[in-house]
């Protein structure tokens, strides 16, 4: 009998999973919340996207053709996943946040969770001013809308992702004033210079990064290391930022501040995996809070597989390789099958690249650039001082008193930061409803189910 494989997320990991599952002979149902497949990496619009921003476009074109053989549901808000007695996925189909969307339920033999990650932007005094966006937002606006947040943007945070963001802004018609990287030159030399034979193995990746650096040089955009945006200035919108040198623990060094005039800021200090579906399915997490998978990308739950950023931040190439393995295994394929050999090799190679990203991991000293009145939870406008009052309280008491993490985004933006600043436990990723749906829609579903039972 043909196996039915449901896949959550149509970014690089989910698409590769769909392709591989189809190759292995499965029936595939692919769900994504976006209007089109591609995820954040291949976010696009046929008329609005500058082709130069579509990296590995040939690979995307191949995957798009391949998933023509799958059932693809875009604009699908998956709001519940059950994996205890077989796989069941509940979703609403329709334009983002519309009311009265169509409810669907999908039963499957196996599930591949490839929900990806979103930016982690650390709070900075002034970061709620209009004109401050995440690095991923700058990239999404450039790719999807051909738009920029302003005319002169400072790109700041950490990690190699800042480079394609700066390029995207420039290609969309904006100007990048500076790229500010918190990791110091010494840390980068140690992190990326070690074991050069491994770097040679990821030559494709280093070539891509060298291309971005070349773009910065051509546009005379400074690329600063060991520095951070520690304050954003403006009235009603961004007018300037303070950039300071930071030590190895990301503590700002007094007396090193400079003012940089700009009208916008793109912040990205890494990524937060989108774990809620995997948690709801019952998958074990590691102490670093990624989904634990084995060689087959199988999770701790029978018939549930995971791939891409939720298993560890590694970028699109790692996601493509992991996705292929996950999809193939979910369809019942064996790892000694020659058709999956290439993906297994690529996965090993890209994990060597991913290990280097640790060079850019958030260091604890950043909290000293916060003011007492800096908003931490953007939804509920909860300040650092307010959180400090509950620094030693239980997670529940802190949240009920301050409302931090209880707003519209359900702690997706501030959760990890609130955990850093308080003694709050690690339950921000646990969400009973996986995506934003309207109470009216839930009520209608409930009503329909009761009618069925009568």
Contacts of 101 (CB under 8 A, 6+ apart): 77, 92, 93, 94, 95, 437, 441
Is 90:107 a contact under the CB 8 Å cutoff?
A: no
Query: Does residue 320 belong to the site contacting other proteins (CB under 8 A)?
Result: no
State the nearest-atom distance from the C-beta of 140 to other proteins, in Å.
4
Query: Does residue 452 belong to the site contacting other proteins (CB under 8 A)?
Result: no
Query: Does residue 149 belong to the site contacting other proteins (CB under 8 A)?
Result: yes
Distance, in Å, from the CA atom of 204 to the CA atom of 305, rounded to the nearest integer, reads 27
- Count residues contacting other proteins (CB under 8 A)? 47
How many residues are given for the chain? 454
SS3 of residue 351 by DSSP: helix
Q: Among 4, 101, 144, 416, which residue sits at the site for other proteins (rule: CB under 8 A)?
A: 144
Q: Among 96, 203, 391, 400, which residue sits at the site for other proteins (rule: CB under 8 A)?
A: 96
Cβ proximity to other proteins, 77 vs 303, nearer residue:
77
Q: Among 31, 122, 133, 265, which residue sits at the site for other proteins (rule: CB under 8 A)?
A: 133
Query: Does residue 436 belong to the site contacting other proteins (CB under 8 A)?
Result: yes
Distance, in Å, from the CA atom of 18 to the CA atom of 330, rounded to the nearest integer, reads 10
Query: Does residue 434 belong to the site contacting other proteins (CB under 8 A)?
Result: no
Q: Among 140, 228, 229, 424, which residue sits at the site for other proteins (rule: CB under 8 A)?
A: 140
Distance, in Å, from the CA atom of 435 to the CA atom of 78, rounded to the nearest integer, reads 6
State the nearest-atom distance from the C-beta of 131 to other proteins, in Å.
6
Inter-residue long-range contacts of 433-440, CB under 8 Å, 24+ positions, other chains counted: 433/79, 433/80, 434/78, 434/79, 434/80, 434/81, 434/276, 434/277, 434/280, 435/33, 435/77, 435/78, 435/79, 436/77, 436/97, 436/408, 437/77, 437/79, 437/92, 437/101, 438/97, 438/99, 440/99, 440/100
Q: Among 7, 138, 283, 398, which residue sits at the site for other proteins (rule: CB under 8 A)?
A: 138
DSSP E strands: which ranges in 349-424?
375-377, 382-383
Cβ proximity to other proteins, 108 vs 379, nearer residue:
379
Is 317:346 a contact under the CB 8 Å cutoff?
A: yes
Is 330:5 a contact under the CB 8 Å cutoff?
A: yes
Q: Among 25, 45, 52, 247, which residue sits at the site for other proteins (rule: CB under 8 A)?
A: 45
| Beta-strand pair 258-261/264-268 | unpaired
Cβ proximity to other proteins, 109 vs 119, nearer residue:
119
Q: Among 170, 412, 418, 441, which residue sits at the site for other proteins (rule: CB under 8 A)?
A: 412
Q: Among 413, 421, 434, 441, which residue sits at the site for other proteins (rule: CB under 8 A)?
A: 413
Query: Does residue 417 belong to the site contacting other proteins (CB under 8 A)?
Result: no
Query: Does residue 402 belong to the site contacting other proteins (CB under 8 A)?
Result: no
Query: Does residue 147 belong to the site contacting other proteins (CB under 8 A)?
Result: yes
SS3 of residue 242 by DSSP: strand
Query: Does residue 18 belong to the site contacting other proteins (CB under 8 A)?
Result: no
Query: Does residue 40 belong to the site contacting other proteins (CB under 8 A)?
Result: yes
Cβ proximity to other proteins, 83 vs 362, nearer residue:
362
Contacts of 163 (CB under 8 A, 6+ apart): 179, 209, 212, 213, 216
State the nearest-atom distance from the C-beta of 301 to other proteins, in Å.
25
Query: Does residue 134 belong to the site contacting other proteins (CB under 8 A)?
Result: yes
Residue carrying structure tokens 């400072």: 154
Interaction mask 212-241, other proteins, x per CB under 8 A: ------------------------xx----
Interaction mask 350-389, other proteins, x per CB under 8 A: -------------------------x--xx-x--------
State the nearest-atom distance from the C-beta of 429 to other proteins, in Å.
13
Stretch that binds other proteins, among 132-140, 175-183, 212-220, 336-344 (CB under 8 A): 132-140
Q: Among 95, 207, 255, 432, which residue sits at the site for other proteins (rule: CB under 8 A)?
A: 95
Residue (of 240, 244, 242, 241) closest to 227 by Cα position: 244
State the nearest-atom distance from the C-beta of 310 to other proteins, in Å.
14
Cβ proximity to other proteins, 40 vs 221, nearer residue:
40
Cβ atoms within 10 Å of 250's Cβ, excluding its own:
24
Q: Among 65, 105, 107, 130, which residue sits at the site for other proteins (rule: CB under 8 A)?
A: 130
Contacts of 146 (CB under 8 A, 6+ apart): 45, 48, 49, 50, 172, 173
- Torsion, CA 319, CA 3, CA 78, CA 430, rounded to 10: -70
Residues that bind other proteins (CB under 8 A): 33, 35, 40, 43, 45-48, 95-99, 118-119, 128-134, 136-141, 144-150, 236-237, 375, 378-379, 381, 407-409, 412-413, 436
């Amino acid at each position: 009998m043909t196996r039915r494989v449901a896949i959550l997320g149509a970014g690089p990991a989910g698409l590769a999973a769909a392709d591989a599952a189809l190759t292995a002979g499965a029936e595939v149902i692919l769900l994504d919340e976006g209007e089109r497949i591609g995820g954040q990496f291949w976010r696009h619009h046929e008329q609005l996207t500058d082709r130069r921003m579509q990296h590995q476009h040939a690979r995307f074109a191949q995957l798009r053709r391949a998933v023509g053989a799958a059932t693809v549901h875009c604009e699908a808000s998956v709001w519940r996943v059950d994996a205890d007695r077989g796989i069941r996925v509940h979703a609403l189909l329709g334009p983002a946040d519309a009311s009265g969307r169509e409810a669907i339920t999908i039963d499957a033999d196996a599930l591949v969770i490839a929900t990806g990650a979103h930016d982690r932007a650390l709070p900075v005094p002034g970061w709620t001013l209009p004109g401050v966006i995440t690095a991923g937002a700058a990239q999404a606006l450039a790719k999807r809308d051909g738009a920029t947040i302003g005319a002169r943007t400072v790109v700041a945070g950490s990690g190699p992702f800042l480079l394609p963001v700066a390029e995207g802004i420039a290609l969309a018609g904006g100007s990048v004033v500076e790229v500010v990287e918190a990791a110091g030159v010494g840390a980068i030399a140690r992190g990326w210079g070690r074991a050069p034979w491994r770097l040679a193995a990821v030559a494709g990746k280093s070539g891509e990064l060298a291309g971005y650096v070349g773009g910065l040089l051509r546009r005379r955009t400074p690329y600063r290391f060991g520095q951070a945006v520690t304050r954003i200035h403006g009235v009603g919108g961004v007018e300037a930022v303070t950039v300071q040198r930071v030590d190895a623990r990301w503590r700002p060094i007094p007396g090193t501040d400079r003012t940089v005039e700009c009208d916008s800021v793109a912040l990205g200090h890494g990524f937060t995996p989108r774990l809620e579906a995997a948690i709801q399915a019952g998958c074990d997490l590691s102490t670093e809070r990624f989904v634990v998978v084995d060689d087959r990308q199988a999770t701790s739950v029978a018939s549930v597989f995971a791939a891409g950023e939720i298993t560890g931040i590694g970028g699109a190439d790692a996601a493509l390789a992991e996705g292929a393995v996950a999809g193939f295994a979910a369809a019942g394929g064996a790892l000694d099958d020659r058709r999956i050999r290439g993906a297994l090799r690529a996965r090993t190679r890209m994990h060597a690249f991913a290990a280097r990203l640790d060079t850019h991991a958030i260091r604890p000293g950043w909290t000293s650039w916060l003011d007492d009145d800096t908003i931490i939870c953007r939804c509920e406008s909860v300040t650092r001082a307010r959180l400090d009052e509950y620094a030693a309280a239980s997670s529940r008491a802190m949240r009920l008193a301050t409302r931090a993490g209880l707003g519209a985004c359900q702690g997706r933006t501030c959760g990890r930061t609130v955990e850093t600043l308080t003694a709050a436990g690690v339950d921000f990723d646990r969400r009973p409803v996986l995506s934003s749906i309207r109470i009216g829609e839930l009520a209608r579903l409930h009503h329909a189910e009761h009618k069925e039972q009568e």
